[in-house]
Structure 1
């Protein structure tokens, strides 16, 4: 383990010019063709459109296995022209495990579905880089978003490959964060939705949880940077000023375009992302036009 007492300088390292390590596959894994559908990459390392599948139909075990490989290799998959129902969305998601119930977004019609409806009375949100529900002891494994209504222009979503973000950290930063954990807390992002009594109850139910700053992906074994500005509040064991400087530096890694893919939504588009390997950002540039979507999430495991 590194010497965590050694001070570091953070001098715009992410702004350096020159090539970056852009590795799509985990080290040692070779490229293999896909047999059951077409994969159209939207960037060199993250994001691909899947062509040739109808998500309204049951997924065979063979297709599910190949889709899971595509998800691990591309981190976020996109499907267009999928006029599926909420029930079909749930059935597709259940192929990957038990579905999560979000503690703050309540849908009276279906407890597993989160509805996002932004209209003339409410501008869009989620325009902060984040990994979903990292305030949970077991954050979501993966999430699926289905777009129901889109604005005439804008409303894109970006995803960042946090394995690439880790790969490109300077060696001294990697040494510094080796073995560190960070606290994740829902309060900064969701307290405004709650009364003081509700907030106290939710804080008792979901106290701050520690996760490793660098997570090992449970399936690919790839190291990924696992802190985000929506929920990560501090690094225990560091002085507050150093913790804040280090976190702000690590947060900025998601901003680098080489690690990103940007998706332009259409009605009936679906995005399926690996929540263990990515962060995402919903661009809020379409107000006062409406944007409506629904999301499901698959229960994950404890980061290590």
Structure 2
């Protein structure tokens, strides 16, 4: 197994391993976990993964649960989400971490490219540990005292449910199940212990204990840190590519530039053990 760092800050491509082979995955499991903790997102090329094989790969990095997002589940594997789009109204072309509106957001995710456009549709990741480290010490101390509200009802996600169920049943069920919750503005990473800026433009709606204007300004400042190129990595998908990322330490952005081509991805959310 070989490792090539893509940028100094974040992201590594791993070769010399067949993820469909359980014995190879088991042999390298500890090393893969260590690389992910250090590099925050890792990539593999030219893989052939059935839904069941993808689930096995995801289990290397933590516990998995059935799909609990607003995307549909695979008909043969309830742990695999179907992300199918044509570069319009995806709602993922905003810097975010997945499902931060849940009490225990996923610790990571495993994304497999089933079918991708010839060009376009890249995904970018940003290190939010590097983002925290860039801040003034006084600002770091202040942010540690704050909590923020996270809400799943971003327009694109609500619209996605409305398209899947025009009767509004899915939307009403989601509203009842997932009420807005508060998260720390700065999280201590459960594996590395490093502080992470845990505010994103898609789901963070208000910071508690400050005025609306101050809240808006802080959210803009903190979510905007993901846009700094020095702690980003950009990945060009090919059919059979796999990305595994740390959903606590990073944010990501799916570039929405491939309409009318189709893009089909399979995702498995990874929970903490």
TM-score by length of 2: 0.91
Give the corresponding residue for 1:89. Answer: 54
In the TM superposition, residue 243 of structure 1 has moved relative to its aligned partner by 0.6
Alignment of 1:9-88 (within 5 A): 37-58=1-22, 59=24, 61-88=26-53
Give the corresponding residue for 2:178. Answer: 206
Contact 1:213 1:226 in 2 (8 A): yes
Cα RMSD (Å) of the superposition? 1.7
Alignment of 1:97-176 (within 5 A): 97-100=62-65, 101-107=67-73, 109=75, 110-119=77-86, 122=88, 124-176=90-142
In the TM superposition, residue 95 of structure 1 has moved relative to its aligned partner by 2.5
Instruction: For 1:163 and 1:136, locate their aligned partners in 2 and report how far apart those are by CA, in whole Å.
Output: 21
Give the corresponding residue for 1:23. Answer: none
In the TM superposition, residue 173 of structure 1 has moved relative to its aligned partner by 2.1
1:169-219 Cα shifts (integer Å, max 9, x gaps): 123321321221111110125222245554343222111111110110011
Contact 1:116 1:293 in 2 (8 A): yes
Give the corresponding residue for 2:206. Answer: 234
Instruction: For 2:144 and 2:49, locate their aligned partners in 1 and report how far apart those are by CA, in whole Å.
Output: 44
Give the corresponding residue for 1:188. Answer: 154
Structure 2 residue ranges without an equivalent (≥5): none
Contact 1:77 1:272 in 2 (8 A): yes
Contact 2:19 2:25 in 1 (8 A): no
Contact 1:38 1:50 in 2 (8 A): yes
Contact 1:157 1:283 in 2 (8 A): yes
In the TM superposition, residue 94 of structure 1 has moved relative to its aligned partner by 1.9
Instruction: For 1:124 and 1:286, locate their aligned partners in 2 and report how far apart those are by CA, in whole Å.
Output: 11
TM-score by length of 1: 0.82
1:63-93 Cα shifts (integer Å, max 9, x gaps): 1111000000000000001012111101111
Between Structure 1 and Structure 2, how many residues are aligned?
264
Q: Name the SS for the 1:113 alignment partner.
A: strand
Q: Name the SS for the 1:173 alignment partner.
A: helix
1:90-112 Cα shifts (integer Å, max 9, x gaps): 11112233313223112251221
Instruction: For 1:198 and 1:123, locate their aligned partners in 2 and report how far apart those are by CA, in whole Å.
Output: 18
1:281 counterpart = 2:253: yes
> Structure 1 residues 150, 60: CA separation in 2 closer, same or farther (over 3 Å shift)?
closer
> Structure 1 residues 205, 251: CA separation in 2 closer, same or farther (over 3 Å shift)?
same
**Mean Cα deviation higher: 252-261 or 171-180:** 171-180
**Mean Cα deviation higher: 159-168 or 122-131:** 122-131
Instruction: For 2:82 and 2:72, locate their aligned partners in 1 and report how far apart those are by CA, in whole Å.
Output: 8
